[in-house]
Structure 1
Amino acid sequence: MDLSAEHRSTYFQQRLEDAGFTRPESLRLAHAAAGDESGDAAARVTAALDELQFPAGPSA
């Protein structure tokens, strides 16, 4: 994994853990997203994490 992929992996891992994923889950998902050269997986992970933190729907 190149340095930028390693940084992406660390970033995604932290966001996943902040969202409640366990360390093994977050490591696996972060490595998969960071290793995707096209950026599609990273974009999907980011969108999913944003949805977990800021669910769409009526405001309170």
Structure 2
Amino acid sequence: MTYEEHLDEVTTLITEKYGLDDDSAIRMVMRAQADDFFSGHDDDPSICTLERAHLDARAVFKRYK
């Protein structure tokens, strides 16, 4: 998946796993992106997998809730 698709998947997983509304999940992912949480993903698209999206969703939620 592309970097943008990965961010969308992380956002979707946060809403599904943690019950946040779309706007809250989007803000959380945007904060993580602003903090360069996803900088390696943009440099190496092979990181952008569904498995990694699940890990990232958990990490982003824990860090930015």
Structure 2 length as normaliser, TM-score? 0.44
Query: Going by fraction, where is helix more abundant, 1 or 2?
Result: 2
Between structure 1 and structure 2, the one with the greater Rg is: 1
